[in-house]
């Protein structure tokens, strides 16, 4: 006799929850592919963000970390507060000119490979604070990979920005970005060796 309540009756129509793996040859008990694809896959799904939250965008990030938006499902369960352990610097909020050297020092303390995300209008461009005391965008002192617009951006926007970073890490860059001429040129333009 069928049970009165049945779960998972449409199982064949469920979404596939597992991400597609990289291209490669597979057979009985083995799988071969490029090393940089595997490393990129691993990196992009285990980013350790370092939140540098100075104002209201930081509050949005706290919501992003919470259960409703659940940042952890992107492999960023572990938010680090030591720059030496983290790969992704998330600058969220107004950076005053006096705070600029601090941001730069935190960035310098991070080990390669490192990525930077500017969350919100202030971190991206100074926002409404077009004034003598506020840095007009953190890209004046450190290179930025992804800008998230909004004042403040909704958690969905922060997640979207994060997925853009994952895309960069996974598909767009070589394994050792720091060896690329273009990257070194960029670093030199910021006075970073």
Using rule CB under 8 A, residue 120 touches other proteins: no
| Alpha-carbon gap, residue 111 to 123, rounded angstroms | 22
Task: Considering the complex, state which of residue 48 and residue 129 has its C-beta at the smaller distance from other proteins.
Answer: 129
Number of residues binding to other proteins, judged by CB under 8 A: 11
Cα dist from 128 to 34, 71, 96, 98, 144, whole Å: 46, 28, 13, 18, 20
Token pair listed for 131: 């004034």
| Alpha-carbon gap, residue 78 to 75, rounded angstroms | 8
Using rule CB under 8 A, residue 132 touches other proteins: yes
Answer yes or no: are the C-beta atoms of 115 and 48 closer than 8 Å.
Answer: no
Please pick, from the candidates 126, 153, 155, 161, the single residue that binds other proteins as defined by CB under 8 A.
Answer: 126
Task: Considering the complex, state which of residue 100 and residue 113 has its C-beta at the smaller distance from other proteins.
Answer: 100
Counting every residue written for the chain, the total comes to 193
Residues from 136 through 155 that contact other proteins (CB under 8 A): 136-137
Task: Considering the complex, state which of residue 46 and residue 140 has its C-beta at the smaller distance from other proteins.
Answer: 140
| E strand map for the chain | 25-27, 30-32, 49-53, 88-92, 115-119, 146-148
Q: Is the peptide bond before 94 cis (omega within 30 degrees of 0)?
A: no
Task: Considering the complex, state which of residue 64 and residue 125 has its C-beta at the smaller distance from other proteins.
Answer: 125
| Alpha-carbon gap, residue 131 to 121, rounded angstroms | 14
Task: Considering the complex, state which of residue 26 and residue 133 has its C-beta at the smaller distance from other proteins.
Answer: 133
User: C-beta of 98: minimal distance to other proteins in Å?
Assistant: 5
Using rule CB under 8 A, residue 55 touches other proteins: no
Residues from 80 through 99 that contact other proteins (CB under 8 A): 97-98
Answer yes or no: are the C-beta atoms of 161 and 146 closer than 8 Å.
Answer: yes
Using rule CB under 8 A, residue 105 touches other proteins: no
Task: Considering the complex, state which of residue 133 and residue 179 has its C-beta at the smaller distance from other proteins.
Answer: 133
Write out the residues near other proteins by the rule CB under 8 A: 97-98, 125-126, 130-134, 136-137
């Amino acid at each position: 006799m069928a049970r009165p309540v049945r779960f998972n009756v449409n199982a064949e129509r469920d979404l596939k929850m597992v991400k597609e793996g990289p291209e490669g040859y597979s057979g009985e008990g083995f799988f071969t592919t490029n090393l940089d694809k595997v490393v990129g896959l691993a990196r992009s799904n285990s980013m350790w963000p370092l939140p540098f939250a100075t104002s209201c965008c930081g509050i949005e990030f706290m919501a992003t970390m919470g259960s409703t938006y659940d940042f952890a499902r992107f492999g960023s369960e572990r938010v680090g507060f030591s720059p030496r352990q983290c790969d992704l610097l998330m600058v969220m909020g107004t950076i005053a000119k006096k705070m600029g050297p601090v941001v730069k020092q935190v960035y310098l303390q991070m080990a390669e490979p490192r990525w930077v995300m500017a969350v919100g209008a202030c971190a991206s461009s100074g926002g409404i604070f077009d004034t003598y005391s506020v840095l007009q965008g953190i890209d004046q002192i450190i290179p930025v990979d992804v800008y998230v617009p909004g004042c403040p951006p909704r958690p969905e926007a922060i997640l979207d920005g994060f997925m853009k970073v994952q895309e960069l890490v996974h598909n767009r860059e070589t394994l050792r970005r720091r060896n690329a001429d273009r990257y070194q040129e960029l670093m030199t333009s910021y006075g970073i060796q």
